Amino acid sequence: MLTHKHIWSAIDALAARHNLSPSGLAKLAGLDPTTFNRSKRRTPEGRSRWPSTESIAKVLQATGSSLDQFVALVEEENAPARRLMRPIPLIGLAQAGSSGFFDDAGFPAGTGWEEIAFPELGDVHAYALEIAGDSMLPVYRDGDRIIVSPAASTRRGDRVVVKTVKGEVMAKQLGRKTMRRIELNSLNAEFESRVFDLDEIVFLHRIIWASQ
């Protein structure tokens, strides 16, 4: 049975697949940023409020998604396993460059991590980083949390977290990649892009969600 919760969960899932929060998805589609806020999902009297067909059409167009793909998300969100929550490790992005937080494979390790609850991702090594400062504006703000999946495949244009052999950890947009080098574009236009030899990179993980 199609329910109010399934439709809203599918919108949340669509946003996550494009590395966006629900408000980020609304902005991408040219809608009011609060269109998909949880406070808008019920009336002041407590009745369920459905998203409009116009708003769904606009987000599908903005993300290049088909109606069939959206329906598939609704069906996925209808499966109980998709709604399970589990704890994932969390540290500040500024801390992540310190030794002891990742093992040699680039997975979270050590005891310095906190935990937050997040829907099951199918990646046992997923983790969260908290942004500090304004060097990543306007994409990420101070206090935003990004969810990172080491298991997720990456391609040009993806937002990624990278750690270098010098211990620098940064969030960038993946640019051109060759057999020898990798280009990382800054999220803040005031900062230059970076180019590294591949042997200078310890790991490169895709950002799959952000609390914007």
146-186 confidence digits (pLDDT tens)? 999 999 999 999 999 999 999 999 999 999 999 999 999 99
Over residues 63-93, the pLDDT tens digits come to 988 888 888 888 776 655 445 678 999 999 9
What is residue 70's three-state secondary structure? helix
Handedness of CA 156, 19, 118, 11 (dihedral sign): negative
Handedness of CA 18, 22, 23, 28 (dihedral sign): positive
- Rounded to whole angstroms, the Cα distance separating 10 from 32 reads 19
Over residues 8-31, the pLDDT tens digits come to 988 998 998 888 889 999 999 999
Q: What is the pTM of this model?
A: 0.63
- Better pLDDT: 38 or 186: 186
pLDDT at 5 over 50: yes
Query: Which residues pair with residue 205 across a beta bridge?
Result: 161
Which tokens go with 26? 């609304």
Over residues 105-114, the pLDDT tens digits come to 899 998 889 9
pLDDT grade, residue 121 (50/70/90)?
A: confident
Domain coordinates of the chain in residue numbers? Answer: 4-82, 85-210
- Rounded to whole angstroms, the Cα distance separating 159 from 139 reads 10
- Rounded to whole angstroms, the Cα distance separating 25 from 73 reads 15
Residue corresponding to tokens 């030899």? 197
Helix, strand, coil % over all residues of the chain, rounded to 5:
25, 30, 45
So what's the pLDDT on residue 26? 94
Which residues lie closer than 8 Å to 133 by C-beta, 6 or more apart? 94, 142
Q: What percent of the chain has pLDDT over 70?
A: 95
Which residues lie closer than 8 Å to 28 by C-beta, 6 or more apart? 18, 20, 59, 62, 63
pLDDT at 2 over 80: no
What is the average pLDDT score of the chain? 88
CATH class, 4-82 region: mainly alpha
Q: Which long-range contacts (CB under 8 A, 24 or more apart) does 175-184 make?
A: 184/160
User: 208 with 152: CB under 8 angstroms?
Assistant: yes
pLDDT at 196 over 50: yes
CATH class, 85-210 region: mainly beta
- Rounded to whole angstroms, the Cα distance separating 176 from 183 reads 5
